[in-house]
């Protein structure tokens, strides 16, 4: 897709067509990416409960590192879509270059610190004594090679912002499919155990990186990615960070919430801790699919807002809420109805793990119905440059609402308090989202009326 066609898709193509063209490829890529996250959990589950626990506790640390890619990638993407709406290509090139080189540099520093303090970090996020040896082996490899994932996440956001969703899909698919193929080879055929799962993931991430590098070197992008164009001016960095920091906060809170659930669950034994692994990964699969679809919504909303096309913006919001909620309803009901057989796939004979995991998956599946509505507006505030509102909303589901619930409820309700903490936080977050959405639409109507009056007065 050349530059003119990309701009036409963002600015003038029918909204349903644009959402599908931009959202479906990324959604498919995210789905396959989520499946390869599940692949580690599935194949490692055959090794035993402690090995499953190792993958479970490593997940939130990996998410924090990936959050650095989101800090610069999502922060830049929101700004880039508005710049393209205004036709400012020069600034857009500077923003894209600054984002990619900054994310890799900061990511490398974070990974180094994680490796140095790995054992105390793992203990803090839920690794019990029987799990720790496996967690150390798996996480060392997983974290070191996540530098490629930082690059991939940053590029995924930048590429999506210019309307090249198919490239993002290809990069995600290449790594995901390879990971599913390599997992059983490295874990069982070569007898590497949990280390094999980490090695398979590392190789897969490198392959995704090669896809993005090919896209850059073949000059398929609207943007240029030159180190000479890196610009750390106040204007550019403030635009990237005011959206990137809330996104990073969201990712850190996601990891914090998983770590807090693991910590709370470990008090009830290894089976309870291990049960949180498949539940977290399965629900992450649903959230990643929604995120993938809304990657199509994000550049359309940003472009429309930047070009002051309010009718198009409202239509994009309405369709995105309806479609994402429809998916969340279907996904959530499947997770709730088939919770026991789904969790049973991740263990050979741990009946207690299945029982606990099924309860948690059922509760999370029901509350997931609210996730599409919440996420549309979480994305919308950020892409419009409303950092304060976006920060508050992004922090709701797994921070402002979740943390008090997970700290208080288990002491009152025991293990059930752990299992129902996220669903309760989901309901509270949806209520807050509704209140903020009403206010936002009032502001959009006022802004549209002002522009209309100004046009008529000329």
458 part of a folded domain:
no
Q: Which two tokens stand for residue 6?
A: 């990309």
Q: Is 412 left (phi over 0), alpha (psi -120 to 50) or beta?
A: alpha
How far, in Å, CA of 225 to CA of 45, rounded? 41
CA contacts within 13 A on the Cβ side of 310: 13
Q: Residue 87: what pLDDT? A: 77
Q: Residue 361: what pLDDT? A: 95
Q: How far is CA 366 from the centre of its chain?
A: 20
Number of domains in the chain: 1
6 part of a folded domain:
no
457 part of a folded domain:
no
Q: Which residues of the chain have pLDDT under 50?
A: none
Question: In angstroms, how far is the first alpha carbon of the chain from the final one?
Answer: 38
Per-residue pLDDT of 153-192, as tens digits, reads 899 888 877 777 778 778 888 888 898 899 999 999 999 9
193 part of a folded domain:
yes
Q: Residue 5: what pLDDT? A: 61
5 part of a folded domain:
no
CA 73, 77, 78: angle at the middle one, nearest 5? 125
Look at the chain and count its residues. 458
Q: Is the pTM of this model over 0.75?
A: no
Please provide residue 447's backbone torsions phi and psi, each rounded to the nearest 5 degrees: -65, -40
- Domain of residue 448 covers 12-452
Q: Residue 224: what pLDDT? A: 81
- Name the nearest CA neighbour of 300 among 140, 445, 107, 85: 85
Q: Residue 421: what pLDDT? A: 92
Q: Residue 349: what pLDDT? A: 79
How far, in Å, CA of 170 to CA of 32, rounded? 10
85 part of a folded domain:
yes
Q: Residue 309: what pLDDT? A: 84
87 part of a folded domain:
yes
Per-residue pLDDT of 233-266, as tens digits, reads 888 898 888 778 877 877 788 778 888 888 888 8
Neighbour tally for 122: CB within 10 Å: 22
133 part of a folded domain:
yes
Q: Residue 363: what pLDDT? A: 95
- Name the nearest CA neighbour of 126 among 249, 248, 275: 275
Q: Residue 36: what pLDDT? A: 65
Q: Residue 434: what pLDDT? A: 94
């Amino acid at each position: 897709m050349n530059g003119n066609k990309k701009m036409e898709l963002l600015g003038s193509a029918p909204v349903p067509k644009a959402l599908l063209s931009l959202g479906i490829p990324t959604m498919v890529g995210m789905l396959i990416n989520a499946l390869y996250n599940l692949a580690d959990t599935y194949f490692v589950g055959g090794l035993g409960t402690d090995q499953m626990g190792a993958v479970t506790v490593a997940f939130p640390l990996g998410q924090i590192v990936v959050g650095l890619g989101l800090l610069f990638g999502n922060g830049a993407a929101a700004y880039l879509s508005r710049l393209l709406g205004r036709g400012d290509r020069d600034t857009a090139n500077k923003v894209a270059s600054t984002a990619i080189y900054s994310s890799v540099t900061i990511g490398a520093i974070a990974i180094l610190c994680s490796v140095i303090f790995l054992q105390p970090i793992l203990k803090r996020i839920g690794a019990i004594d029987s799990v720790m040896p496996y967690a150390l082996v798996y996480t060392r490899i997983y974290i070191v090679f996540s530098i490629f994932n930082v690059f991939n996440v940053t590029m995924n956001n930048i590429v999506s912002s210019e309307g090249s969703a198919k490239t993002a899909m290809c990069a995600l698919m290449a790594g995901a499919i390879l990971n599913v193929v390599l997992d059983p080879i490295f874990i069982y055929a070569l007898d590497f155990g949990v280390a094999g799962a980490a090695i398979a993931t590392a190789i897969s991430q490198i392959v995704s990186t090669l896809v993005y590098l090919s896209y850059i070197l073949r000059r398929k992008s609207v943007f240029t990615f030159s180190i000479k164009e890196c610009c750390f001016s106040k204007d550019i960095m403030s635009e990237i960070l005011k959206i990137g920091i809330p996104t990073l906060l969201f990712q850190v809170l996601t990891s914090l919430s998983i770590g807090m659930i693991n910590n709370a669950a470990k008090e009830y034994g290894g089976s309870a801790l291990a049960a949180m692994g498949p539940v977290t990964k399965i629900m992450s699969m649903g959230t990643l699919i929604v995120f993938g679809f809304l990657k199509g919504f994000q550049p359309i909303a940003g472009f429309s807002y930047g070009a002051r096309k309010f009718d198009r913006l409202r239509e994009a919001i309405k369709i995105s809420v309806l479609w994402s909620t429809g998916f969340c309803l279907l996904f959530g009901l499947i997770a709730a109805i088939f919770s026991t057989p789904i969790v049973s796939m991740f263990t050979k004979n741990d009946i207690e793990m299945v029982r606990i995991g099924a309860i948690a998956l059922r509760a999370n599946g029901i509350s997931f119905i609210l996730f599409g509505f919440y996420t549309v507006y979480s994305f919308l505030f950020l892409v419009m440059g409303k950092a304060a509102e976006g920060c508050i909303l992004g922090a709701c589901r797994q921070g402002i609402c979740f943390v008090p619930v997970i700290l208080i409820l288990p002491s009152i309700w025991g293990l059930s308090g752990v299992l129902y903490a996220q669903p309760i936080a989901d309901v509270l977050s949806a209520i807050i989202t509704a209140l903020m959405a009403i206010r936002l639409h009032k502001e959009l109507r006022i802004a549209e009326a002002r522009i209309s009056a100004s046009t008529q007065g000329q």
